[in-house]
A and B are shown apart, each in its own frame.
Chain A
Amino acid sequence: MREFFAMGGYAAYVWPSYALALIILIGNIIAPMQQRKKIVSDIARKIRRARNEQK
């Protein structure tokens, strides 16, 4: 196991590569989710306000 993590002495290069890939992959999933959530709540707020004004 320790041998696996050591990557034949190249751990300092191999693991940062995989870590960055993971961060970027996850980041690009979270970003559009939050973008969509924000827009939906934005529009929902406007709809509610418009409805209240009608009353």
Chain B
Amino acid sequence: MNVFMRWFHKMGSPRYFYTVAGKMIPWFMTSFVILLLFGLYYGLIMAPPDYQQGESYRIIYIHVPAAWMSMFIYVVMAVSGLISLVWRIKMTEIFVISSATVGASFTFLALVTGSLWGKPMWGTWWVWDARLTSELILFFLYLGIIALHSAIEDKRVAARAISILALVGVVNIPIIHYSVEWWNTLHQPATITKFDKPSMDISMLIPLLLMALSFKLYYGAVVLMRARAELLERDRNTRWVQELIEGDAK
């Protein structure tokens, strides 16, 4: 067994996971805040205004990273779902539901900031454009997953159900990504995620990448926080949780 597999096995132990995650959260949080501050500084102050859109384009530094996160988190969630369905690993089951709320939040943020950007630039808050519609479907998928999880009393059954839903919904991810190519409607095509040089000046690109990376670190921190809470809830009657809380109480 190599080092990675051994680590993976260890992380399968709830108590070990709980402790290690608790130590990792401050690191994720600190690096998130640092990158966020740099991202905001470069994005709002250093980057020049756009030659066509003026200052309004600065919404990009929230909108695009949020939209990337909405898809990234969904993929993480679906992969966790797949692992939990195939190998019945409890820890990955917890990651499915822990990711769902953060994912839904970023999807909502992408939709609202898109709307706020659309109004001054396209002249409308909303159109039934392919990109917008598929992103809205993603939002409903997240909500469906959260609702389904809370509707089923037995947490293990709930985890299995939402894993299946997450896997079925993953078909939407390539649709979102390619929607701007397949259907030539209002939303502009990809600027960064394409097999070509990004069509964006470096002074505007750097803050975007800083913000995107900071959002990823943020997700790392928040998903671990949620996973720890979920884990306590699920294992509330086990010995390690009792010992942990008794230890704290003394």
Contacts and interface: CB of A to CB of B under 8 A. Distances in A.
A interface residue count range (under 10 / 10 to 19 / 20 to 34 / 35 or more)? 20 to 34
Main secondary structure, interface of B, reads helix
Interface residues of B, number: 39
Which of B55, B102, B221, B246 has its CB near the most chain A CB atoms (within 10 A)? B55
Contacts, number: 92
A28 interface: yes
A42 B108 CA distance: 32
Interface string A18-53: 101100110111011101100110111001100000
A35 B62 CA distance: 27
Given A25-B218, A27-B105, A36-B225, A16 B116 contact: yes
Contacts of A17: 59, 62-63, 112-113, 116-117
A35 B227 CA distance: 11
4 nearest A-B pairs in the assembled complex, by CB-CB distance: A8-B55, A10-B56, A36-B229, A32-B225
Interface of B: 44-45, 49, 54-56, 58-59, 62-63, 66, 101-102, 105-106, 108-109, 112-113, 116-117, 119-120, 218, 221-222, 225-226, 228-229, 232-233, 236, 241-242, 245-246, 248-249
Interface of A: 4, 7-10, 13-14, 16-18, 20-21, 24-25, 27-29, 31-33, 35-36, 39-40, 42-44, 47-48
